[in-house]
Amino acid sequence: MNRIVRENYPASKLPEDLRGDIEPGASVTVTVVAETRGAPQRFAELRQRLGQGRLSLVDAVERVRKIREGEAF
């Protein structure tokens, strides 16, 4: 997570919409944290990809038997 903290930052340097009712001569602490909106979606996509192409236990046993018998699967 990216995080930037600036303590004793002059309020006069803040944009007006962020400054609100704070006096321009005051000092403030500014914390900026980058949002990670895509992470849950990427995680869900990864879980879905990992689930694709998985063999059931029955299919896995069948494959092993064919390999042992020298048959192609």
- What global pTM score does this model have? 0.47
Confidence of residue 34 (pLDDT cuts 50, 70, 90): confident
CA 68/CA 23 separation, integer angstroms: 80
Average pLDDT, the chain: 86
Q: Is 29 in a helix, a strand, or coil?
A: strand
DSSP element (H, E) containing 66: helix 57-68
pLDDT for 38 equals: 63
Confidence of residue 40 (pLDDT cuts 50, 70, 90): low
Q: Which of 16-20, 49-53, 59-63 bottoms out in mean pLDDT, i.e. has the lowest?
A: 49-53
